[in-house]
Structure 1
Amino acid sequence: MADVWVAPGRINLIGEHTDYNDGFVLPIALPHAVRITAARRDDGVLRVRSRQALGVTEVPVADLAPGVVTGWAAYVAGVVWVLREAGYDVGGFDLLVDGNVPLGAGLSSSAALECATALAVAELSGLDVDRFALARLAQRAENDFVGMPCGIMDQSASLLAREGHALLLDTRTLDTAHIPFDLTSHGLRLLVVDTRAPHRLVDGEYAARRAACHKAAEVLGVPALRDVDEVPEGLPEDLLRRVRHVVTENRRVLEVAELLRAGQLRAIGPLLTASHLSLRDDYEVTVPELDVAVEALLDAGALGARMTGGGFGGCVIALVDADNAAGCEEAVQRAFADNDFTAPEFFTATASAGARAER
C-alpha cells in the first residue's frame, strides 16, 4: 500500500539573499504544499509522475547523475541521487506528485517537492536521517543535480516549520527558534500578491549575486558576509551595494524577530519596506511588477510591503489591517491595469505546519 508525504511551500517574512551568506532568515510555511504518494519497487527503477504534468520519467537509480533527468522531475531524481551519493541504501520507487504551490512564484515549490521526496524515500527505505540532515541533502540535490545554487532556507522552512510560528533560522549553525506569529489576533493579515511576473533564477542572475557575495567576503578576509558587522569602505561600488544589503538585511531579520517576540507585530511594517528598498537599490533583484505592487500597497495603507523570494519576478507580501485587505488588493489591481501588466493573484498567508506523513 502506498503512503502519502506532504511538504509545504514557504513565504519568507524577511531575510532575502542572506542564507547563502551564512546569515539569518525568518520564513513561515504555507498551507500550499506538495503531496507525494510513494511505494517501493524491487527492480531498482525510479518512476515519477505528476498530476500537474504530462508524461512519465523512468530511470534506473543506478544510472542517476546530474543531467540524466531534466525538468521538474530532476528535483525528485536529485534527492534519490544525493541520498545514494551520501551512502544510503536507496532503491527503486513509484512516486506520484500532486500539489498546489504556485509554480514560478518564488514560494519554493521546488523545495517542497524535494522535501516531500526526501521524507518519503527516507522513511520507506528505513533510513535514520534527521530533518536538519535531510534539509542539507535536499539543498545539495538542488545545487548539484538541478544546478540551482540556492541556500538552505527553503528546505529548512519546509521541513522544520511549525503551525502558528515563524522560523528564525541561523543558516550557519542551523540553530532555530520558533516565534509565535498570530496576525489574526492583532487584526492583521499577511497579504500575498502573486505578480505573475516570470520567476526565473537558473538563468545566471541568482548565481551572479551569490558569486559577488563570495568575492566580497574573500576581499574582506571573512568566511562569509555574515561576519561583516558594518558596511565597509573601499570596495568597488557593485560589491559595496551587495554587501550593504546583506549586512542591513541580517539586522532587519533580528529586529523583526525581537518585535514579534514582544508582540509588536504592527511595528515590523517599516522593516519589511526597508528590506524591499534594499533589494531594489542595493541587490538589484526586483522587476517593475514587484516595485509597482509595493508602491501601490503602501499608497493604499499597507503597514509594510516587500518582494519575497529570490526576486526577478514572483510575489510581494504586505502587512495589512484585516479591514483594509480588500482595498489593498484593489489598489494593486488598478496599478497593474494602468501598467498593462498581467492581472495579479492574491491570497492570505498563514503560518502552517512543516513536512509530514499522512496516512
Structure 2
Amino acid sequence: MESQSVGQATGKIILMGEHAVVYGQPAIAFPFNGTGIRAFLKPANKNKILSSHYSGLLEDAPKQLNNLQQLTAHLQTDLHTPNFELVIESTIPSERGMGSSAAVAVAITRAFFNWVKHDLSQEKLLHYVNFSEKIAHGSPSGIDAATTSGSQPLLFRKGEPFETFPLNIDAFLLVADTGVKGQTRIAVADVAQRLTEQPQETMEKITHLGQLVLQAKEAIIKNQPKELGRLMTAAQKDLKNLGVSNARLDQFIQLSLNAGALGAKLTGGGRGGCFLVLCQNETQALAIQNKLQQAGVVSTWMQRLGV
C-alpha cells in the first residue's frame, strides 16, 4: 500500500445539443482538461476531508457532501483500506455544468485504487462514480461520469448507448464564466412551455439543433475548425430563439465573434453560466480571453483541441 496516493479527473463541456437532447436529439460532450480535480489520500486516525466546501471529520460533513461520505465508505469497505485523510483540489467551478460532482467521484475512486495498487477498469470506475452521482442527483444520465473519466468526445442520445469519436480538430477552445448562475430548470421549463404554445416553430428549431450536432461531429472528425465554428454560432442562434440565452451571454458571445472567433455559443442550461469560444490558435484565444476579462467575465479556461 502506498503511503500517499493521488487520483485525477478533468472537467466536462457540452459542446452542442443543449435542450434539444431533452427531446430525443443528439448532443456532444467531451472531457475538458482546462479544468480538473486532484484527490490525495493518506492514512489518518479518523476519516477526514479537506476541501474548499468543507474541512473536518467526514462524519460531520454537511448534507451536500453525503455522496462523498457514502462513496468513500463504499470504497473503504470494498478495498479494505485504513482510515484516511482526503484532500480535494479543484479548478472546476461548481454549478456551472462542467461536471464537478462526477469529476470529484472519478478522482476519489482513482485515488483509492491507486492507494491499494489495484487495477481499475473503466466499467468498475463508472460503477463507483454512478453510485455517487445517484446520491447527488437522483437519476443522472451518466454523461458527466463518462466524460470526466474519459479522453474522447461523446455523442449521446436519450435512451441510446454513448458513441465515442476522436477529438481531431486543430483549434483552441476558450470557456468563460459570465458570473451569473445558470437557470437550467427554468430554461428547460420555458422551452417546454414554448413547445406547447408554438409546437411547429419550436420543434423545427429543436430538430435543427440536432442536425447541427451531427454536422459538428463530422467537422471534428475531418478537422474543419471553421465549419465547427459556423455550426456553433448557428446553434447559438437557435438557442437564443428558444429563449435560453440572455443579454449577458449575447453580449459576450458577440464580443468574441467581433474579435475574430471562429464561433461561439452558450454551454449547458443557459440563462447565465458559461459559454464557449472556438479560436484559430493560442494567440487569438489569449487575445479574446483578455477582451472578455476586460468586459467583465469572472473566469476563463482554455484547452488546445486537436489530435
TM-score normalised per structure 1:
0.68
Distance 1:272 1:48 in 2: 40
1:173-207 per-residue CA deviation (whole Å, 9 max, x = no partner) reads 43432313342xxxx43222222222465xx4377
Report matched runs for 1:85-104 at 5 Å. Answer: 93-104=84-95
Distance 1:82 1:129 in 2: 15
The alpha-carbon distance between structure 1 residues 137 and 4, as it changes in their structure 2 partners (threshold 3 A), is: closer
Report matched runs for 1:35-184 at 5 Å. Answer: 35-39=38-42, 46-50=47-51, 52-59=52-59, 69-71=62-64, 73-77=65-69, 79-80=71-72, 93-121=84-112, 130-132=121-123, 134-135=125-126, 137-139=128-130, 141-142=132-133, 144-147=134-137, 150-162=140-152, 166-169=153-156, 172-183=159-170
Distance 1:122 1:99 in 2: 20
| Equivalent residue in structure 2 for 1:319, among 273, 278, 286 | 278
Q: Is the 8 A contact 1:139 1:151 kept in 2?
A: no
| Equivalent residue in structure 1 for 2:248, among 272, 278, 289 | 289
Shift of 1:34: 0.7
Q: Is the 8 A contact 1:46 1:93 kept in 2?
A: yes
| Equivalent residue in structure 2 for 1:2, among 1, 4, 27 | 4
1:308-346 per-residue CA deviation (whole Å, 9 max, x = no partner) reads 123232221112233544553455456x4xxxxx44433
Shift of 1:129: 6.5
Q: Is the 8 A contact 1:305 1:316 kept in 2?
A: yes
Q: Is the 8 A contact 1:112 1:155 kept in 2?
A: yes
| Equivalent residue in structure 2 for 1:274, among 225, 234, 238 | 234
Distance 1:206 1:132 in 2: 33
SS of aligned partner of 1:273: helix
Identity of aligned residues (%): 22
Shift of 1:305: 0.5
Distance 2:137 2:69 in 1: 13
The alpha-carbon distance between structure 1 residues 47 and 350, as it changes in their structure 2 partners (threshold 3 A), is: same
1:55-91 per-residue CA deviation (whole Å, 9 max, x = no partner) reads 324229xxxxxxx8423x345235347779xx96777
The residue aligned with 1:16 is 18
Distance 1:80 1:53 in 2: 17
Q: Is the 8 A contact 2:4 2:115 kept in 1?
A: no
The alpha-carbon distance between structure 1 residues 193 and 31, as it changes in their structure 2 partners (threshold 3 A), is: closer
Q: Is the 8 A contact 2:10 2:31 kept in 1?
A: no
Letter in 1 for 2:69: A
SS of aligned partner of 2:144: helix
Letter in 1 for 2:122: R
The residue aligned with 1:232 is none
Distance 1:168 1:21 in 2: 15
| 1:309 and 2:261 matched | no
Letter in 2 for 1:350: R
The alpha-carbon distance between structure 1 residues 179 and 75, as it changes in their structure 2 partners (threshold 3 A), is: same
Shift of 1:245: 5.2
The alpha-carbon distance between structure 1 residues 331 and 100, as it changes in their structure 2 partners (threshold 3 A), is: closer
Unpaired runs of at least 5, structure 1: 61-67, 217-234, 337-341, 354-359
Name the Cα RMSD after superposition.
Answer: 3.9
Unpaired runs of at least 5, structure 2: none
The alpha-carbon distance between structure 1 residues 94 and 328, as it changes in their structure 2 partners (threshold 3 A), is: closer
The residue aligned with 2:177 is 194
SS of aligned partner of 2:175: strand
Q: Is the 8 A contact 2:172 2:285 kept in 1?
A: yes
Shift of 1:270: 1.6
Letter in 2 for 1:197: V
| Equivalent residue in structure 1 for 2:217, among 251, 254, 257 | 257
The alpha-carbon distance between structure 1 residues 265 and 48, as it changes in their structure 2 partners (threshold 3 A), is: same
The alpha-carbon distance between structure 1 residues 205 and 35, as it changes in their structure 2 partners (threshold 3 A), is: same
Q: Provide the aligned length of Structure 1 versus Structure 2.
A: 302
Q: Is the 8 A contact 1:24 1:250 kept in 2?
A: yes
Distance 1:78 1:238 in 2: 45
